[in-house]
Amino acid sequence: MKTAISPTRVENYPEWYQQIIRAADLAEVSPVRGCMTIKPWGYALWENIQRELDAQIKALGHKNVYFPMLIPASFLAKEAEHVEGFAKECAVVTHTRMVRDETGKMVPGSPLEEPYIIRPTSETIIGEAYSRWIQSYRDLPLLLNQWANVMRWEMRTRMFLRTSEFLWQEGHTAHANATEAHAEATTILNLYANFAENWLAMPVIRGEKTASERFPGAVNTYCIEAMMQDRKALQAGTSHYLGQNFARAFNIKFLNASGVEELAYTTSWGVTTRLIGGLIMTHSDDDGLVLPPKLAPTHIVILPIIHKAEQRSAIMEYCDKLAHQLRAIHWHGRKLEVEIDSRELGGGEKAWSWVKKGVPLRLEIGGRECEAGNVSVSRRDKTYRERSTVPIDALLADVPQILDAMQTGLHTRARDFQTTHTVEINNQTDFYDFFTNGDGGFASTHWNGDAKIEAKIKADLNVTIRCLPLTEDAHVRGTCPFSGEHSAQRVIFAKAY
Amino acid sequence: MKTAISPTRVENYPEWYQQIIRAADLAEVSPVRGCMTIKPWGYALWENIQRELDAQIKALGHKNVYFPMLIPASFLAKEAEHVEGFAKECAVVTHTRMVRDETGKMVPGSPLEEPYIIRPTSETIIGEAYSRWIQSYRDLPLLLNQWANVMRWEMRTRMFLRTSEFLWQEGHTAHANATEAHAEATTILNLYANFAENWLAMPVIRGEKTASERFPGAVNTYCIEAMMQDRKALQAGTSHYLGQNFARAFNIKFLNASGVEELAYTTSWGVTTRLIGGLIMTHSDDDGLVLPPKLAPTHIVILPIIHKAEQRSAIMEYCDKLAHQLRAIHWHGRKLEVEIDSRELGGGEKAWSWVKKGVPLRLEIGGRECEAGNVSVSRRDKTYRERSTVPIDALLADVPQILDAMQTGLHTRARDFQTTHTVEINNQTDFYDFFTNGDGGFASTHWNGDAKIEAKIKADLNVTIRCLPLTEDAHVRGTCPFSGEHSAQRVIFAKAY
């Protein structure tokens, strides 16, 4: 069967991913190394993610702020692990003007005394501010967040998944004690997990990173890990308990209720435009993008099918009225977004363009539907040919349930996929076989906690420990198949993006 | 009379401005040269501006996108005037990592082959994309916008008014003919003007810039100019008709309906976080910030006044119920934002903190109000002592009208101020006197169009032509008082930010 996207997932998964982005017109590679241009359809997805996440973050008492994008290079150096983690991939601003050289070429002029780096993350510049803003326990907790662009000079980039510049939100909080700060980190982890499950329809495993995968400067890094359709893992969000590391580096101190000076406890956490990559790879098929309805920029497209000129005005009027009625429906905090596509294009080409863009519902209306008061309904989660003709009133009554069913259906399908490809593996041979000859996926396996074993598996198989799951069923004692030693819990191994 | 802000506007206007920002906790100077940190109260203002402007821009058919923040230095050089305008104030990225030198100091490593500049504006990188995206007249008009940070290395900076990094929206459109592109530029100018008047309550004059004040690369630059309380002008938004200048530089061509290749016509337009500076300086008084209610992060603050411990629960319950009822009221597209301030602070200190933050309505509730079913209402546009006690039901019924009256009142007061300080001046002596010995303001004066006269006045008085107003009453023929020559219209001269 011919598919709209070529190659298919089975034929060439990485190339399929690029073609999905192109066919849905989400983004393109830019002339700036490693950076992408996010086009209207892709940016509308990000706006929908932002709107909902921002509301959820604010509902927990966080407020938004904006810190400068440039960070004095000396700030980076204040936290020892942090500088090691980020110095090797940061864009450095060294001059503040361009001038013409003797050949007429534009070259950098006016060197800066101290260079700036473009923020790869903002713990350092925010830490400096917190040291001034926080004086007393009455100033705590301090719960701030910002939506910003950040830059990490990555060697291998892929649109949405890993780009030199990306968009994100970064939360930064300070607390009077470790318990509260730690609770903040897990509260946010749960917020991210629920958002992934309920909005992106992307099932995730909540867990903690091993020391080698921790955020540079963190005490604990928590994460959500999703499984893509090639059975690789995608780290989709992280929440860090920073202990007093950044408080010490930036001198964030407060007088406690007894008048004694203490270092504060801080957290940081973020999700990025990478979520869009996760959404694409979780749901899309060989005909194009598939969007979870709750995040779709357009929920419904109406396609007038006009064969004779004299039908035009009646059909268009019918479409306008239907669009108007649908737009009055509220669904999960938004009015339904409905578009009428009246471009002069063949009906097939037109419908396929919306299939590729992942719009949940397509409504076709020709002379017959118009006369009978009907509409032909196609769902993006069914095949292109499958459609049902129903009376307008029935559609209007059922639309919210149809969209709910689609949202739930995508989640269930992805959850089943993840479950099917998550396997408990208890010996080393099976483990190596799973990742070399087998299909791969998530291996739930015991591990003694030794970083050398972790490193060897990475070197041998390019497989990493995605996380130590927080779920109870992972907390069973057992034997590490790589060392024969005691293991306190199962961990998730996988290849990853 | 003692004022909450010292110095007052009369005593030292620039310092008063800084103190307003500090007292309302809007922002602070950052350790990054020329950049500010926008704090929660200031950022909430920007979010409110964004939400409304974004909806208005989208309602005209524009879609949001995101282009990389880095621009290859060679792109900047493609439009001759553009590069001259921006090369002297751009931050240049020359390296992509920091390394330790022999002394252990972090210094730039890995030099780039071609440097990048941080966008001072995005015409060039967007022009490159448009040259690929636009092929046929069917691709036009292309109406895009982005919300982004930009950087211009300014020598003298002032919070919100002129900072090295600032936040803005930048619209970029391409059209098939000059008429349509020109109409776009004026449509957006009108959108900006209406937003300034109706949301910021800031009266503006719409006009065109002279050649010397044009955007580098533009054919026409249109602007809105507002008058601050020190009678200086603030350029609050610009909309540029770029003709075919950028289309030529970036090869943006399309096949017209007759199959002939043509260069497109483009526009660009933007407003920035400077609008917040305009808002502050238009309305605030010697007691602190005054917010137009439509943009206030909090419309109403409830202040429980508890003198005896046994009153606490009754008063708090009463406040909670009132907040709940007020929050159910929709006003100009938002639910009313209501905060209860139950901090343990003296009543005076607490109330003054909200005066300084500019919250439109303060409701005080003590034992007496609680028993009588009343509330004591103070309006930010009246003096601190002025308050009225009204029954809760009356308040609930009247709140929308009260806020409307405050919004309109602020606008009227600012409009009157602008009118009072805009003077028709018809001879050179009066003109020089107005700007040296007089109070200054806007001088509506004839001018023969000679850039040399414009330059001399700037050198003599630090006064510039703010714009050639678009209004009919400015389009009267007359005599230029500086040259004795014919003048086609009056123009606005003023000192400016």
Q: Which residues pair with A222 in a beta bridge?
A: A208, A239
* Closest residue of chain B to A155, computed from CA coordinates: B96
Cα Rg for chain B, rounded, in angstroms? Answer: 26
Q: Is the CB of A125 inside 8 Å of chain B's CB atoms?
A: yes
Q: Is the CB of A88 inside 8 Å of chain B's CB atoms?
A: yes
Mean pLDDT along residues A197-219: 97
pLDDT higher than threshold 90 for residue A219: yes
Record: contact A96-B98, CB cut-off 8 A: no
Q: Are A57 and A145 in contact (CB under 8 A)?
A: yes
**How far is B217 from A281, CA to CA, in rounded Å?**
43
Record: contact A87-B73, CB cut-off 8 A: no
> String of b and e for A54-68 (b: at least 16 CB within 10 Å)?
bebbeeeebbbbbbb
Q: Are B274 and B282 in contact (CB under 8 A)?
A: no
Tokens of A216: 């540079």
- For residue A369, which amino acid is it? E
Mean pLDDT along residues A142-171: 97
**How far is A477 from B220, CA to CA, in rounded Å?**
74
Mean pLDDT along residues A226-242: 98
User: Which has more confidence, A218 or A439?
Assistant: A218
Cα Rg for chain A, rounded, in angstroms? Answer: 26
CB pairs under 8 A between A and B: 183
**Which chain B residues are Cβ-neighbours of A30 within 8 angstroms?**
67-68, 125, 129
B162: DSSP letter: B
Record: contact A40-B144, CB cut-off 8 A: yes
Instruction: Identify the residue among A75, A100, A106 best suited for mutation to test binding to B, counting B beta carbons within 10 A and taking the highest.
Output: A106
3-state secondary structure of A350: helix
Instruction: Identify the residue among B35, B39, B63, B93 best suited for mutation to test binding to A, counting A beta carbons within 10 A and taking the highest.
Output: B93
HEC string for A416-477: HHHHHCEEECCCHHHHHHHHHCCCCCEEEEECCCCHHHHHHHHHHHCCEEEEEECCHHHCCC
**Which chain B residues are Cβ-neighbours of A44 within 8 angstroms?**
63-64
**What part of B 302-341 touches A (C-beta under 8 Å)?**
none
Instruction: Identify the residue among A63, A69, A166 best suited for mutation to test binding to B, counting B beta carbons within 10 A and taking the highest.
Output: A69
Q: Residue A473: its pLDDT value, please?
A: 86
Question: Is the Cα torsion angle B273, B279, B281, B287 positive or negative in sign?
Answer: negative
Question: Closest Cα partner for B35 from A77, A187, A129?
Answer: A129
Question: Closest Cα partner for B226 from B37, B101, B358, B410?
Answer: B410
What confidence tens digit (pLDDT) does each residue in A90-112 have? Answer: 999 999 999 999 998 889 999 99
**How far is A460 from B481, CA to CA, in rounded Å?**
85
List Cβ neighbours of A51 (8 Å cut-off, separation of 6 or more). Answer: none
Question: Closest Cα partner for B334 from B283, B300, B376?
Answer: B300
Record: contact B36-A68, CB cut-off 8 A: yes
pLDDT higher than threshold 90 for residue B346: no
**Which chain B residues are Cβ-neighbours of A74 within 8 angstroms?**
106
**How far is B467 from B208, CA to CA, in rounded Å?**
5
Q: Is the CB of A38 inside 8 Å of chain B's CB atoms?
A: yes
**How far is B120 from B272, CA to CA, in rounded Å?**
12
Record: contact A125-B151, CB cut-off 8 A: no
Domain covering B13-92+119-283 assigned CATH 3.30.930.10 in the classification: yes
Question: Is the Cα torsion angle A45, A51, A57, A59 positive or negative in sign?
Answer: negative
Q: Phi and psi for B483 in degrees, rounded to 5?
A: -125, -15
Nearest CA distance, B492 vs chain A (angstrom): 33
* Closest residue of chain A to B99, computed from CA coordinates: A87
What confidence tens digit (pLDDT) does each residue in B152-166 have? Answer: 998 899 999 999 999
Mean pLDDT along residues A147-171: 96
pLDDT higher than threshold 90 for residue A345: no
List Cβ neighbours of B70 (8 Å cut-off, separation of 6 or more). Answer: A32, A35, A91, A151, A165, B93, B116, B117, B118, B119
CA distances from B177 to A74, A256, B58, B262, B456 (A): 52, 67, 22, 9, 38
Tokens of A346: 């063949």
**How far is A50 from A56, CA to CA, in rounded Å?**
10
Topology of domain A298-402 in CATH is Rossmann fold (3.40.50)
Record: contact B32-A125, CB cut-off 8 A: yes
The angle that helices A274-283 and A40-59 make with each other, rounded to 10 degrees, is 110
Burial of A337 (0-12, 13-18, 19+ CB in 10 A): middle
Q: Are B106 and A83 in contact (CB under 8 A)?
A: yes
Residue among B65, B91, B115 whose CB faces A96 most closely: B91
**Which chain A residues are Cβ-neighbours of B26 within 8 angstroms?**
none
Q: Which residues pair with B167 in a beta bridge?
A: B149
B321 Ramachandran zone, left/alpha/beta (phi>0; psi -120 to 50) = alpha
Record: contact A43-B63, CB cut-off 8 A: yes
Q: Are B184 and B175 in contact (CB under 8 A)?
A: yes
Instruction: Identify the residue among A37, A58, A92 best suited for mutation to test binding to B, counting B beta carbons within 10 A and taking the highest.
Output: A92
Record: contact B108-A115, CB cut-off 8 A: yes
Tokens of B103: 């002394």
CA distances from B279 to B17, B19, B352 (A): 11, 15, 20
Tokens of B21: 């920002």
Q: Is the CB of A151 inside 8 Å of chain B's CB atoms?
A: yes
Instruction: Tell me the pLDDT of chain A averaged across its residues.
Output: 96
Nearest CA distance, B288 vs chain A (angstrom): 21
What confidence tens digit (pLDDT) does each residue in B413-441 have? Answer: 999 999 999 999 999 999 999 999 988 99
Q: Residue B394: its pLDDT value, please?
A: 97
**How far is B344 from B339, CA to CA, in rounded Å?**
15
Q: Are B123 and B242 in contact (CB under 8 A)?
A: yes
Which CATH architecture fits B300-402? Answer: 3-Layer(aba) Sandwich (3.40)
Q: Is the CB of A49 inside 8 Å of chain B's CB atoms?
A: no
User: Per-domain residue ranges for chain B?
Assistant: 13-92+119-283, 300-402, 422-494
pLDDT higher than threshold 90 for residue A80: no
CA distances from B354 to A375, B27, B339 (A): 56, 16, 11
Neighbours of A2 (CB within 10 A): 6
Q: Which residues pair with A205 in a beta bridge?
A: A225
Percent of chain B surpassing pLDDT 70: 100
Tokens of A57: 């973050």
Q: Are A379 and A402 in contact (CB under 8 A)?
A: yes
Mean pLDDT along residues B135-159: 96
Q: Is the CB of A129 inside 8 Å of chain B's CB atoms?
A: yes
Residue among B30, B46, B83 whose CB faces A68 most closely: B30
Question: Is the Cα torsion angle B390, B391, B397, B399 positive or negative in sign?
Answer: positive
Indicate the class that CATH gives domain B422-494.
alpha beta
What confidence tens digit (pLDDT) does each residue in B42-72 have? Answer: 999 999 999 999 999 999 999 999 999 999 9
Nearest CA distance, A266 vs chain B (angstrom): 19
Strands (E), A360-434: 361-365, 374-379, 388-391, 422-424
Q: Is the CB of B61 inside 8 Å of chain A's CB atoms?
A: no
Q: Predicted ipTM?
A: 0.97
**How far is A65 from A70, CA to CA, in rounded Å?**
15
**How far is B441 from B229, CA to CA, in rounded Å?**
9
List Cβ neighbours of B377 (8 Å cut-off, separation of 6 or more). Answer: B361, B362, B363, B387, B388, B389, B390, B395
The lowest-confidence range among A11-20, A239-248, B466-475 is B466-475
pLDDT higher than threshold 90 for residue A120: yes
Q: Are A191 and A210 in contact (CB under 8 A)?
A: no
The lowest-confidence range among A429-433, B98-102, B253-257, B417-421 is B98-102
**How far is B342 from B339, CA to CA, in rounded Å?**
9
Record: contact B92-A94, CB cut-off 8 A: yes
A329: DSSP letter: -
Residue among A92, A125, A148 whose CB faces B96 most closely: A92
Record: contact B76-A98, CB cut-off 8 A: yes
Instruction: Identify the residue among B26, B28, B32 best suited for mutation to test binding to A, counting A beta carbons within 10 A and taking the highest.
Output: B32
User: What dotted CATH number matches A13-68+131-283?
Assistant: 3.30.930.10
**How far is A185 from A192, CA to CA, in rounded Å?**
11
Nearest CA distance, A119 vs chain B (angstrom): 12
Instruction: Identify the residue among B38, B41, B63, B69 best suited for mutation to test binding to A, counting A beta carbons within 10 A and taking the highest.
Output: B69
Q: Are B331 and B295 in contact (CB under 8 A)?
A: no
Q: Are A228 and A282 in contact (CB under 8 A)?
A: yes
Strand A300-304 and strand A361-365: the pairing is: parallel
Residue with tokens 């540079």: A216
Record: contact B43-A63, CB cut-off 8 A: yes
Q: Residue B105: its pLDDT value, please?
A: 87
**Which chain B residues are Cβ-neighbours of A151 within 8 angstroms?**
69-70
Nearest CA distance, A43 vs chain B (angstrom): 6
- Size of chain B, expressed as the number of residues it contains: 497
**How far is B272 from A39, CA to CA, in rounded Å?**
22
Percent of chain B surpassing pLDDT 90: 94
CA B356 to chain centre: 20
3-state secondary structure of B278: helix
Record: contact B98-A91, CB cut-off 8 A: no
Q: Phi and psi for A467 in degrees, rounded to 5?
A: -175, 165
Q: Are B290 and B406 in contact (CB under 8 A)?
A: no
Record: contact A70-B91, CB cut-off 8 A: yes
What confidence tens digit (pLDDT) does each residue in A271-297 have? Answer: 999 999 999 999 999 999 999 999 999
pLDDT higher than threshold 80 for residue A347: no
